[in-house]
Amino acid sequence: RWFTHFYVVSVLWNGFLLICLFRAEFLGESFPSWIQAMHHALGRASQSKDTGNEHLSALLVLLLLWLHSCRRLAECLWTSVFSSGVIHIVQYCFGLGYYIAVGSTVLCQVPTNVRNGKKLSVQICWYHIIGVMMYIWASLHQHRCLAILANLRKSRSGKVVSLSHSVPFGDWFESVSCPHYFAELLIYVSMAITLGIHNVTWWCVVMYVLFNQALAAVLCHEFYQKHFSSYPKHRKAFIPLV
């Protein structure tokens, strides 16, 4: 349940960065000096050439990241039913830092001293459309799967009646043990597509999410197999058919 804190931080921090980028793109305002200093430390402030569609891509991805955090926060507060599990203090601190760093990573894809000269509306490319559509598709399935998990601990009236683990069925659970983790990976892949596919920095973020979610999924898969003798044998841990 302390994952809720991650999304509170993400909504506030990435919402602030989104406002800063929005004001810079549409109102022509400068980034705060400390953000410019962060850009300079990461080597972006010195860039002086036209950067194509980076401005719209970064704005879209920062918006998608903020919306993702808002949805996950809402699910933590009103959908999910948490057991008495605990989190290690190192993992907790790392999680807080991660959601600060990931939004900053998006913002730093746009130089602070460059304005593209084009209207954002004419910068829309095919990968923006595909990325956003994939994001919506993966987000819908992640929400459905989280709702399925929560309903295992609720009665038909919506009252929590148990905190024990049960075998989930429906939606992507028919193929993998942890479809909500798989959906998380797809969400980050969709952001990589929205950034133009070629952004190496964001693919490093995707690789982190891949390994992080895969490890958690394998542990959950092994838990299901150990505690439920009739657990469906055709289910994979993380990625369908893999």
Encode the chain (242 residues) as per-residue pLDDT tens digits.
Answer: 899 999 999 999 999 999 999 988 888 788 888 888 887 777 665 554 545 578 889 999 999 999 999 999 999 999 999 988 899 999 999 999 999 999 999 988 887 655 544 566 667 899 999 999 999 999 999 999 999 999 999 998 889 999 999 999 999 999 999 999 999 999 999 999 999 999 999 999 999 999 999 999 999 999 999 999 999 999 999 999 99
Alpha-helical segments (H) within 111-157? 126-151
DSSP-assigned letter for residue 238:
S
Which secondary-structure segment (H or E) carries 91? helix 89-107
206 neighbors 192 (Cβ within 8 angstroms): yes
